[in-house]
A = this chain, B = another copy of it.
């Protein structure tokens, strides 16, 4: 309860939290295109519990089936020491692989999500296939796509933050790097040469942030309360769908099914850059990079 005038970023976070709940809607059937578009306009997620349960992929896919359909084809596997294939290194596996590398699997999936295709007036830009084990984690990041994420086997655990969470996410400019096997078959990281362009990467791990895990004990960081109120956690089970709006930060981990796999697909649609949402997100970024985020990294003594 601080009666002092607040900085504009804190006011933004608080206004957002006062108008938006961390409990997102859980629908039991697909929305119409217009209903879906209302979520798009708000840039707010929702879940459709069992929305894809009748898909052939949800009924049929298991280890034997996947092996059979993909027989004789070579696929790319991202192997890293800790399973963090998509962490501050590259996300080259999000590349429409279902209509390329994994084409034989695509007949068990609809070619689009009708409510999204109609609402957004375009076919999906990419359809991606995700297969991992329980070590696979995708580090917090955002994508410039409207994402319909569908769970096929196992479970996925999402930690979500809206685009205005920029003050928390510790964006840093990093050079990209890849893991390679050395002569002994050990994984070693190879950085790109010094000249390679640095890219902005989200380096915050919400699951390692004391403000989100220590439950109010100890010193609190700036915006501890705002983070807690903004954090959306969702678990998807077989046949569930998630609408993950464009530019939302997401960290994804998984639990395997009885066969030890976790499998999902997502449908990406281009986001709209006109209007005022994208320019306003950039404003938040500019402000934070110009110093409004100062104190984010530092623990502050509670008074």
Chain A residues close to B by CB (< 8 Å): 8-9, 11-12, 15-16, 19-20, 33-34, 37-38, 40-44, 118-119, 121, 162-164, 272-284, 286-287, 290
Given contacts A164-B276, A274-B42, contact A283 B282 (CB under 8 A): no
Interface pair B37/A286, CB less than 8 Å apart: no
Residue of B nearest to A273 (CB): B19
* 26 A–B contacts, CB within 8 A, in A order: A8-B287, A9-B283, A11-B283, A11-B286, A12-B279, A12-B282, A12-B286, A15-B279, A15-B282, A16-B276, A16-B279, A19-B278, A20-B276, A33-B34, A34-B37, A41-B272, A41-B275, A42-B272, A43-B275, A43-B276, A164-B276, A164-B280, A276-B277, A277-B280, A280-B283, A287-B287
When chains A and B are docked, how far (Å) is the Cα of A121 from the Cα of B284? 31
Instruction: Out of B15, B272, B283, name the residue touching A8 (CB < 8 Å).
Output: B283
A-B residue pairs, 5 tightest by C-beta: A42-B275, A41-B41, A8-B286, A280-B280, A15-B279
Name which of A12, A44, A282 has the most chain B CB atoms within 10 A of its CB. A12
Instruction: Out of B20, B118, B282, B287, name the residue touching A34 (CB < 8 Å).
Output: B118
When chains A and B are docked, how far (Å) is the Cα of A41 from the Cα of B16? 17
How far, in Å, is A36 (CB) from chain B's closest CB?
Answer: 9
Interface pair A282/B11, CB less than 8 Å apart: yes
How far, in Å, is A290 (CB) from chain B's closest CB?
Answer: 6
How far, in Å, is A182 (CB) from chain B's closest CB?
Answer: 43
Copies in the complex: 2
Contacts of A8 in B (CB 8 A): 283, 286-287, 290
When chains A and B are docked, how far (Å) is the Cα of A290 from the Cα of B292? 13
Interface pair B275/A44, CB less than 8 Å apart: yes
Name which of A34, A164, A272 has the most chain B CB atoms within 10 A of its CB. A34
Name which of A16, A40, A278 has the most chain B CB atoms within 10 A of its CB. A16
Beyond A16-B279, A280-B284, 16 extra complex contacts between A and B, CB < 8 Å: A8-B283, A12-B282, A12-B286, A15-B278, A15-B279, A16-B276, A20-B275, A33-B34, A34-B37, A40-B41, A162-B276, A163-B276, A276-B280, A280-B283, A283-B283, A283-B284
Residue of B nearest to A285 (CB): B8
Contacts of A118 in B (CB 8 A): 34
When chains A and B are docked, how far (Å) is the Cα of A40 from the Cα of B39? 12
Contacts of A12 in B (CB 8 A): 279-280, 282-283, 286
Contacts of A286 in B (CB 8 A): 8, 11-12
Contacts of A34 in B (CB 8 A): 33-34, 37, 118-119
Residue of B nearest to A34 (CB): B34
When chains A and B are docked, how far (Å) is the Cα of A95 from the Cα of B29? 39
